[in-house]
Amino acid sequence: MTTTYHPIAKSLHWLMAVLILGLLALGIYMSDLPLSPQKLEFYSWHKWAGVTVFVLVWLRLAWRVTHRPPALPETLAAPMRLAAHAGHALLYLLMVAIPLSGWLMSSAKGFQTVWFGVLPIPDLLGRDKALGDLLQQAHQALNLLLMLTLAGHLGAALWHHFVLKDDTLRRMR
């Protein structure tokens, strides 16, 4: 039985953590700025990093289904196990749904994404203002859910480390 995560799983976890925290901060900051060339540049960087997360999450899911992660601590009660598995499943779901909603929103609003200014990403929807506004709300709501889930994820990691004093956080280092 493995007792720690594979270096590939660890790298994907921390790389995506940095990207997602950056995307949350940039997303909240940029959307309230007055229209300017700087704001549009922030939007481009946000979209490029978001598409990168969308690519990485599929690699991560492929890795996850082909490599069993280390088991949860045996001392963990059944409801906590269930909460851990449900929380992780929700995080995977949001890592797919959030960039997808951003991509769909940009398509419906008529702003094609050109990844790092080099690779045009096809628009998934035709231009439709009402649908674009709806997808913008969906993107916001999903991000709120992500922030709540991440708070639980971080809280659980710290609780394992400092209260239960098990190796849950260490094995992801």
Q: Which stretch binds ligand HEM (CB under 6 A): 84-92, 98-106, 152-160, 165-173?
A: 98-106
For residue 28, state whether it binds ligand HEM (rule: CB under 6 A).
yes
Question: Of 160, 115, 138, 150, nearest to 13 (Cα)?
Answer: 150
In the set 12, 20, 84, 108, which binds ligand HEM (CB under 6 A)? 20
Q: Minimum distance from CB of 22 to ligand HEM (Å)?
A: 9
- Cα angle 12, 52, 34 (rounded to 5 degrees) comes to 125
Question: Is the Cα dihedral 163, 168, 170, 173 positive or negative?
Answer: negative
Residues 150/98, Cβ–Cβ less than 8 Å: no
Nearer to ligand HEM, 45 or 159 (CB): 45
Stretch of 34-42, 68-76, 124-132, 139-147 lying at the interface with ligand HEM (CB under 6 A): 139-147
> Is there a contact between 106 and 89 (Cβ–Cβ < 8 Å)?
no
- Angle at the Cα of 46 from the Cα atoms of 5 and 11, rounded to 5 degrees: 15
**Interacting stretch for ligand HEM, rule CB under 6 A, among 34-42, 82-90, 132-140, 162-170?**
132-140
Based on the shown chain and the rule CB under 6 A, indicate whether residue 168 belongs to the binding site for ligand HEM.
no
How many residues bind ligand HEM, per CB under 6 A? Answer: 24
Residue type, 92: Y
> Exposure of 51 by Cβ count < 10 A (0-12 exposed, 13-18 middle, 19+ buried)?
buried
99 touches ligand HEM by CB under 6 A: yes
Q: Between 139 and 160, name the residue whose CB sits nearer to ligand HEM.
A: 139
Residues that bind ligand HEM (CB under 6 A): 20, 23-24, 27-28, 31, 43, 46-47, 50-51, 53-54, 98-99, 102-103, 105-106, 113, 136, 139-140, 143
